């Protein structure tokens, strides 16, 4: 099927249980949307179903039929996520019912703006009751997006009203602007199944963009990657899928267990899962109570259902018919994108609370202060403006920066559209390129201050050391390798940091040793000298200094820095004099025996096996002792004059 044979609009039903939604869909499409055997047995829709029909010009339009029972509201929400045009179904013999109201609220919160109302089961009532039902509907839809739109009387049993329904449906749809296929492809998964000879198939309604055969994709949040093997729309092969129509995608490389309803299919290197998002949240006018800070409930986002908490970014509660900026937090990663609509619900009897629009993914737990509120408002104001969104997203990335693919995904534009914007921002001096990543000047200032503050803190904690090692600074700053290298190069160039023997320091730093540290170091060293060939383990050493437990680790590091104490894997500590004496014994033994065994050294030193093994391992790692061909045989690999570099007058 040619892509032009699809009209990119999806029609959806909504209404109370047993009001005739599925029968209506079958009437004008000829397709029974109930696909489950249980649905057919009970004559009750449980999950949303699919159908399609042709416009007079031959183009196909997709239809989603949703369940009306309140127990299946989550399935109704998942199905309505992809709907552009709503058919609100009201039975003439019952009128407006609780789920009619709930479905209408859901459609409004999910941003549906087009549709009309159909009064069904007209064959069951007389003219007077039919008029009453019509008045009931007109009152209900007043001031909603259905106000002023057609209200059509239909009997699915007799077919009365079908020509009028089709004529008004065709006219209404052709007045609509089809959904745009601009932006980067993404699709929330509605169904997952496996087909023999094809493999994993996922179906849904793409929100943005286009996808073709052989395109590389990933499923999020699992992160599993694959390649598009084939695409179908309305049971026919197509070369390219696009936003605005039901799409089934066969994917090679992703197993059915790696993807489920509620996941998202996106292009590689564009989006990542998050454990939260910021949003503008609205509480329904009909909700009977306030929502408090950190309220727990169920969130429906795309086709996904998950438990989450609402963190109010300001204030402690939201009342009905009120709005607030919030952060929704969940325990596990989810796919979420700027501009998505979501629903928030509490357990019965409270039910539907409200919903809103996602401002942006945000896994960090945001502080509740004026600065956070200002930042979220700034980001909200950027949405819809690619240039502003790209700059703000890069600035918000702080430490990591963004690649051009990530920046394009944030703005929901193609890479070819993103590149000129980034080039222009670089020319204006607002962005800096480093490798494949882009940063703002604000990012760079943030790194420099973070880096310099970390070096300053290191000097304060260990003033006797020349400077910090690169790995130590990486752990302190949490900066990625690439970012850390970039920040260091700038700080060196500006003279704010200096490098001395692979150690990084402040230019003004001078070595110093606090008197208190010297006194404690002398006491600790005395313990090692007293038990030279049986040095204490760290736990026993700490018991010897109960009032200075915290400082003992610092003292050991200091003594190691000046060469008085040496450690093996920061587990076993030895005084330098022990190592030198042991080396002399080893050398004397080697003059009598070509190769030495550990037992001979143990007999000569009376050293415990724990210490002896540690000493041998240290000598081996230093390269001054080599292992022989036989087990437990060693021979020296350095002259007798070998000595450990130490600071004699370390005080």
651: confidence class by pLDDT, cuts 50, 70, 90? very low
186-267 and 284-366: identical CATH topology: yes
Alpha-carbon gap, residue 277 to 361, rounded angstroms: 4
At 58, which helix (H) or strand (E)?
A: none
Residue 297, both tokens: 């409930």
3-state secondary structure of 551: helix
Give dist(CA 236, CA 212) in Å, integer: 15
Report the CATH architecture of 284-366: Beta Barrel (2.40)
The mean per-residue pLDDT over the stretch 135-140 comes to 95
Beta-carbon contacts of residue 11 (< 8 Å; ≥ 6 apart): 61, 62, 63, 64, 83, 84, 85, 86, 87, 169, 173
Distance CA 165, CA 116 (A): 10
Phi, psi of 236 (to 5 degrees): -130, 145
In this predicted structure, what is the pLDDT of residue 630?
Answer: 58
What is the rounded distance in angstroms from the CA atom of residue 353 to the CA atom of residue 105? 10
Beta bridge partners of 573: 567
Dig out the tokens for 517 from the structure: 């540290």
The gap between the terminal CA atoms of the chain, to the nearest Å, is 86
Q: Whole-angstrom Cα distance, residue 650 to residue 194?
A: 72
Residue 579 near residue 616 (C-beta atoms within 8 A): no
Q: Identify which has the larger pLDDT, 131 or 563.
A: 131
Kindly state the average pLDDT of the residues 61-87: 91
Chain Cα centroid distance, residue 621: 43
> CB–CB of 651/518 below 8 Å?
yes
pLDDT over 70 (residue 632): no
3-state SS class at 578? helix
Helix axes 576-592, 609-622, angle to 10 degrees: 80
* Confidence check: pLDDT of 57 > 60: yes
- Average pLDDT of 253-268? 93
pLDDT attached to residue 277: 96
Q: Residue 330: pLDDT band by 50, 70, 90 thresholds? A: very high
Give mean pLDDT, residues 463-467: 84
The Cβ of residue 604 has, within 10 Å, a number of other Cβ atoms equal to 15
Contact present, 221 and 333 (Cβ < 8 Å):
yes
**pLDDT at residue 650 in the model:** 45
Query: How confident is the model over 592-616, as a mean pLDDT?
Result: 81
Tokens standing for residue 246: 């039901």
CA dist 309 and 295 (Å) reads 5
Least confident of 49-58, 138-147, 265-274, 561-570: 561-570
Helix axes 470-477, 441-461, angle to 10 degrees: 120
The per-residue pLDDT for 73 is: 87
Enter the CATH code of domain 384-512.
Answer: 1.10.10.10
The pLDDT value recorded for residue 643 is 63
Give the span between the Cα atoms of 62 and 51, in whole angstroms: 6
- Which residues, at least 6 apart from 111, have a Cβ–Cβ distance to it below 8 Å? 341, 357
**CB contact at 8 A, 192 and 256:** yes
| Closest C-alpha among 26, 38, 65, 72 to residue 49 | 65
Please report the pLDDT score of residue 638 as a whole number. Answer: 67
pLDDT-above-90 percentage for the chain: 53
| Beta partners for residue 434, in sequence order | 437
Q: 3-175 has which CATH code?
A: 3.40.50.300
CA distances from 405 to 259, 267, 384, 601 (A): 23, 10, 18, 63
Helices 415-427 + 386-396 axis angle, to 10: 70
Instruction: Encode pLDDT of 425-445 as tens digits.
Output: 999 989 988 888 898 888 888
Mean pLDDT for all residues in the chain: 88
143-166 mean pLDDT: 94
Q: What is the third-level CATH fold of 186-267? A: Elongation Factor Tu (Ef-tu); domain 3 (2.40.30)
User: pLDDT at residue 1 above 50?
Assistant: yes
What is the structure's pLDDT at 560? 80
DSSP character at residue 614: H
- Bigger pLDDT: 217 vs 547: 217
Query: Looking at residue 365, what is its pLDDT?
Result: 92
- What residue segments make up the domains of the chain, in order of their start? 3-175, 186-267, 284-366, 384-512, 515-636
Matching residue, tokens 């077919």: 159
Name the β-bridge partners of 326: 279, 312
Give the CA angle between residues 550, 552, 558 to the nearest 5°. 120
CA of 384: how far to CAs of 190, 381, 390, 633, in Å? 27, 8, 11, 73
Lowest mean pLDDT among 43-52, 323-332, 367-376, 539-548: 539-548
Nearby residues of 486 by Cβ (< 8 Å), 6 or more positions away: 434, 439, 444, 447
Q: What is the spatial distance between Cα 301 and Cα 295, in angstroms, rounded to a whole number? A: 17
Among residues of the chain, what percentage have pLDDT more than 70?
Answer: 96
Backbone angles phi, psi at 419, to 5 degrees: -60, -45
């Amino acid at each position: 099927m040619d892509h032009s044979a699809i009209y990119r609009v999806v029609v959806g039903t909504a209404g109370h249980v047993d009001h005739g939604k599925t029968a209506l869909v079958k009437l004008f499409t000829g397709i029974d949307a109930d696909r489950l055997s249980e649905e057919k047995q009970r004559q009750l829709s449980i999950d949303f179903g699919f159908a399609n029909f042709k416009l007079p010009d031959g183009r196909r339009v997709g239809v989603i039929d949703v369940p009306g029972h309140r127990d299946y509201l989550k399935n109704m929400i998942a199905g309505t996520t992809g709907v552009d045009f709503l058919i609100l179904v009201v039975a003439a013999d019952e009128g407006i019912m609780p789920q009619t109201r709930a479905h209408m609220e859901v459609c409004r919160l999910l941003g549906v703006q087009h549709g009309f109302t159909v009064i069904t089961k007209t064959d069951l009532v007389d003219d007077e009751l039919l008029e009453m039902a019509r008045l009931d509907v007109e009152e209900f839809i007043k001031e909603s997006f259905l106000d002023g739109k057609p209200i059509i009387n239909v009997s699915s049993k007799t077919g009365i009203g079908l020509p009028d329904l089709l004529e008004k449906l065709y006219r209404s749809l052709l007045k609509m602007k089809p959904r745009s296929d601009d932006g980067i492809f993404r699709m929330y998964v509605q169904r997952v199944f496996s087909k023999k000879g094809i493999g994993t198939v996922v179906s849904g309604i793409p929100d943005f963009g286009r996808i073709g055969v052989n395109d590389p994709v990933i499923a999020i949040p699992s992160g599993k990657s694959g390649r598009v093997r084939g695409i179908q729309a309305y049971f026919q092969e197509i070369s390219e899928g696009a936003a605005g129509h039901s799409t089934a995608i066969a994917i090679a490389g992703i197993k059915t267990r790696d993807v489920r309803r509620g996941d998202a299919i996106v292009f590689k290197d564009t989006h990542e899962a998050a454990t939260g998002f910021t949003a503008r949240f609205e509480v329904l006018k009909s909700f009977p109570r306030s929502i408090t800070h950190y309220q727990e409930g169920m969130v429906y986002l795309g086709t996904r259902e998950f438990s989450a908490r609402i963190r109010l970014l300001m204030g402690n509660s939201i009342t009905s018919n009120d709005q607030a900026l919030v952060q929704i937090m969940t325990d596990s990663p989810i796919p979420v994108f700027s501009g998505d609509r979501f629903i928030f619900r509490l357990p019965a009897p409270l039910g539907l609370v409200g919903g809103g629009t996602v401002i942006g993914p945000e896994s960090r737990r945001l502080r509740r202060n004026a600065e956070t509120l200002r930042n979220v408002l700034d980001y909200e104001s950027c949405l819809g403006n690619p240039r502003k969104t790209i700059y703000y997203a890069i600035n918000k990335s702080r430490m990591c920066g963004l690649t051009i693919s990530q920046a394009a995904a944030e703005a929901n534009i193609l890479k070819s559209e993103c590149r000129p914007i980034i080039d222009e921002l670089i020319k204006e001096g607002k962005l800096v390129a480093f490798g494949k990543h882009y940063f703002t000047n604000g990012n760079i200032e943030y790194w420099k201050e973070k880096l310099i503050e970390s070096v300053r803190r290191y000097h304060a904690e260990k003033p006797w050391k020349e400077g910090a090692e690169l790995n130590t600074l990486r752990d302190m700053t949490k900066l990625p390798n690439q970012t850390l290298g970039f920040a260091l190069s700038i700080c060196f160039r500006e003279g704010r940091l200096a490098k001395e023997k692979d150690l990084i320091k402040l230019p003004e730093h001078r070595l110093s040793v606090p008197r208190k540290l010297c006194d404690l170091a002398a006491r600790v060293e005395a313990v090692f000298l007293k038990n030279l060939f049986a040095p204490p383990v760290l736990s026993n050493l700490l018991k010897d200094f109960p009032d200075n437990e915290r400082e003992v680790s610092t003292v050991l590091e200091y003594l190691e820095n000046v060469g008085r104490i040496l450690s093996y894997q920061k587990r076993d500590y030895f005084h330098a004099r022990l190592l030198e004496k042991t080396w002399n014994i080893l050398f004397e033994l080697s003059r009598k025996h070509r190769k030495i065994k550990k037992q001979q050294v143990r007999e000569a030193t009376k050293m415990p096996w724990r210490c002896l093994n540690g000493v041998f391992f240290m000598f081996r790692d230093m390269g001054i002792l080599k292992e022989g061909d036989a087990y437990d045989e060693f021979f020296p690999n350095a002259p007798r004059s070998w000595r450990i570099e130490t600071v004699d007058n370390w005080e």
